Amino acid sequence: MSGQTAIRIEHVGKRFGAGPLVLDDVNLDIAEGEFVCLLGASGCGKSTLLNLIAGLDRPTTGTIDVPAEGAAVMFQESALMPWLTAQANVELALRLRGVPRSTRASQARELLATVNLSDAAAKRPHELSGGMRQRVALARALAQDRPVLLMDEPFAALDAITRDLLHDELERVWRRTGRTIVFVTHNVREAARLGQRVVLLSSRPGRVAGEWRIDAAEGRRIESPEVAALSIEITAELRKEIRRNAA
């Protein structure tokens, strides 16, 4: 991390129409190159906050500052164009970014190599496994060449073994590219495995209810003792928030 702030969220609140508050007075600074996991119970406003950071919606109150280049977003569904090959899906993002046709193919192949999919460049989405489709989606997000990558539960629909493999892939890509990553999940172990920092949002309205910093992030596995210990600690706080909301 450079020490510079990549994302600054100040006193952010969000309400849809005349409905109840979804987010209330959220304050959070995220450093350049930091990997932050946003964690919370379903409906706590995690995805809403991610959409606000992405600029897909505006906060009702408060401000959000992001780099001028903006952010790339990766969702739970890969949303690949089914008639295009893996390489062509990545090339599409490059074309939208204005990359010249003469270099798009080589850049797309490099990005697929970054996510260990060189051998799948000519395959269409229906020929790929769920994990492979998500890796293509990751390569496509990287093709946007934004300093911030926002990920909204991208591995939630995958089986545990595939998810574990993609955790390794994502960590390797993060360390190689130096992107600032904000990763939304409701899976406590996933957050403890991936994040340099885990931020817990309370149940609605979403507020920052707790933060955990992980000093030695490299080399963690989902089954590591330190991941298990952190998961137990975070889960205890999450249960408190859920009980508080139910009271």
Give the domain ranges of the chain.
1-70+147-218, 79-145
Task: Answer whether 226's CB lies under 8 Å from 212's CB.
Answer: no
Task: Answer whether 57's CB lies under 8 Å from 48's CB.
Answer: yes
Task: Answer whether 40's CB lies under 8 Å from 235's CB.
Answer: no
Pick from 78, 139, 147, 149: nearest CA to 114: 139
- Burial class from Cβ neighbours inside 10 Å (0-12, 13-18, 19+) for residue 73 reads buried
Q: At what angle do helices 130-143 and 160-177 cross, to 10 degrees?
A: 20
Residue type, 55: G
Share of the chain above pLDDT 70, in %: 96
Give the DSSP H or E segment for 184. strand 180-185
pLDDT band with cut points at 50, 70 and 90 for residue 241: confident
Taking the alpha carbons of 180, 121, 136, 86 in that order, is the dihedral positive or negative?
A: positive
Tokens encoding 125: 């989405």
Per-residue model confidence (pLDDT) at position 9: 97
Look at residue 224 and tell me whether its pLDDT is greater than 90: no
Per-residue model confidence (pLDDT) at position 95: 94
Place of tokens 């500052």: 65
Q: What is the dihedral of CA 19, 210, 156, 175, to 10 degrees?
A: 130
- Measured CA to CA, the distance from residue 228 to residue 108 in angstroms comes to 38
Tell me the pTM: 0.92
Could you report how far apart the first and last alpha carbons of the chain are, in Å? 40
DSSP code for 187: -
Per-residue model confidence (pLDDT) at position 183: 97
Q: Which CATH architecture has domain 1-70+147-218?
A: 3-Layer(aba) Sandwich (3.40)
pLDDT digits (tens, 9 = 90+) for 105-149: 999 999 999 999 999 999 999 999 999 999 999 999 999 999 999
Cα–Cα separations (whole angstroms), residue 68 to 4, 99, 193: 14, 19, 30
DSSP code for 202: P
